[in-house]
Amino acid sequence: MDTRDLRWFQLVADGVTVTEVSELEHIAQSAVSRALARLEAEVGAPLLRRTGRTLRMTHAGVAFKYHVDALMHELDDGLAAVHQLVDPESGTVTVSFQPSLGSWLVPDLIASFRADHPGVRFVLRPTSDELVSDVQPRGEVDLELSTLRPSTSALRWRRLTDEPLLLAVPAEHALSARTEVFLNDVAEVPFVVIRRTSMLRQLSDDLCRAAGFEPRVAFECEDLPSMRGFVAAGLGVAIVPAPRGTGVESATSRVHHVAISDPGALREVGMVWSSERRTLPAAELFRAHVVERATAGQLPGVEFPV
């Protein structure tokens, strides 16, 4: 089969019209139509059906496209691998990361890496659901920076650092004068929490349950800066990671961070990659850099107490 025919089939199956494909490829529409018909003849079943002015996949088309996508992804990886072996300094690394790590860990690692490898490009993908890893054997993500330790042998994990979890309180709160606190001291206080698809939410809920109570949720936010803003406005307290020295959210004068004395008040930060997918040279260079920087203790330090 002609790989060009397969790519055109992918485009049309994903909703691109034959006219648009012909314009993208600078080729006659009839040539695209003949290529799709040729592909169907080779497969031995109709792959597309016309619905109005658009083409949609048949059941056979859906089944076929799943394998075409995997095949073309492997082919593209192979071409990229050859190119990177010739010049790994011009490769591309796709990094997924939890949004709460995007203000300090991700910029630090990429900036320090690019100092020695300025030609390597990065594709950055914040995760939407931190309870599920973005790294897949046939996926596009090379490495993931996460607080979720994998539970499957298909994924490898390298611990990078630990983040203490602190209680963020308004500056005028009675607890702001304390250096440490047990969570049962705030069992009756309104909490500002992060969305349920965040690992921080799971850790926070687990800590409160271990302390013998369910937090009284006053507000649910999408990110850490919003949580700290709500705390600064006196709308509740929150369990948050310790601010980092290079983080843009590292402390506002109207928020105080108090150490939590309960056991387990920390979160582990690590790197995840697939054990079933060969890492391309540029991604391997970056992975080695991350490990080296963590081992040498060169990651941004914690700003505490605040």
pLDDT per residue as tens digits for the range 127-144: 988 999 999 887 889 999
**CA–CA separation, 120 and 124 (whole Å):** 13
**Structure confidence at residue 86 (pLDDT):** 58
State which of 170-179, 243-252, 267-276 shows the largest mean pLDDT. 267-276
DSSP state of 232: H
pLDDT over 70 (residue 106): yes
Q: How confident is the model at residue 54 (pLDDT cuts 50, 70, 90)?
A: confident
Backbone angles phi, psi at 50, to 5 degrees: -85, 130
pLDDT tens for each residue of 265-294: 999 999 999 998 888 888 999 999 999 999
Q: How confident is the model at residue 306 (pLDDT cuts 50, 70, 90)?
A: very low
Q: How confident is the model at residue 253 (pLDDT cuts 50, 70, 90)?
A: low
**Structure confidence at residue 252 (pLDDT):** 55
Report the SS3 class of residue 6. helix
Whole-prediction pTM value? 0.69
Once rounded to an integer, what is the mean pLDDT over residues 11-18? 89
Average pLDDT score, the chain = 89
- Round the CA-based radius of gyration of the chain to a whole number and report it: 25
Once rounded to an integer, what is the mean pLDDT over residues 249-258? 72
- Enumerate domains of the chain plus CATH numbers: 3-72 (1.10.10.10), 88-160+268-295 (3.40.190.10), 164-267 (3.40.190.10)
pLDDT over 60 (residue 250): no
Once rounded to an integer, what is the mean pLDDT over residues 91-100? 92
pLDDT tens for each residue of 68-95: 998 998 888 888 777 766 566 878 899 9
**Structure confidence at residue 285 (pLDDT):** 92
Q: How confident is the model at residue 304 (pLDDT cuts 50, 70, 90)?
A: low
